[in-house]
């Protein structure tokens, strides 16, 4: 019902910035909770940021707080993740996720999201 496509990944040096984008189709996302997760090689899927639907708050993981900023553009049915001061530890495949019915306490749980994009690779290396 909802299709998600991420873009904006690439190879950057430590300290550089990148902005990821996720465009949704099939449904309008203003009422959906939206999130970014990432998965590094050999590791599990990690919560990055989430935005509660219906004008709710945005939350960021402690590991990225102050460096990454998630934002919505409901008019374009998109969400973004601005990433500043990138570190080698940020290297991962970044995924966009969506779900129509969630509570704040479950926003960071990957297993609660019904819709996922294909992922976009972010590599931070010298």
Question: Tell me: the pLDDT tens digits for 22-77?
Answer: 999 999 999 999 999 999 999 999 999 999 999 999 999 999 999 999 999 999 99
8 A C-beta contact, residue 86 and residue 15 = yes
Q: How far is the C-alpha of 4 from the C-alpha of 21, rounded, in Å?
A: 10
Task: Give the C-alpha separation, 26 to 3, whole Å.
Answer: 6
The neighbouring-strand residues paired with 20 are 81
- What are the tens digits of pLDDT across the range 76-110? 999 999 999 999 999 999 999 999 978 888 999 99
Q: How far is CA 63 from the centre of its chain?
A: 14
pLDDT at 101: 75
């Amino acid at each position: 019902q909802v299709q998600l496509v991420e873009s904006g990944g690439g190879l950057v040096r430590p300290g550089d910035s990148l902005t990821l984008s996720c465009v949704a189709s099939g449904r309008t996302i203003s009422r959906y909770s939206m999130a970014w997760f990432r998965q590094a090689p050999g590791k599990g899927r990690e919560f990055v940021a989430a935005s509660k639907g219906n004008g709710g708050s945005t939350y960021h993981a402690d590991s990225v707080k102050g460096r990454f900023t998630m934002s919505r553009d409901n008019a374009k049915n998109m969400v973004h993740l601005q990433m500043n001061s990138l570190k080698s530890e940020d290297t991962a495949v970044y995924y966009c996720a969506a779900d129509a019915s969630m509570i704040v306490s479950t926003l960071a749980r990957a297993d609660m999201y019904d819709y996922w994009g294909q992922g976009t690779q972010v590599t931070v290396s010298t």
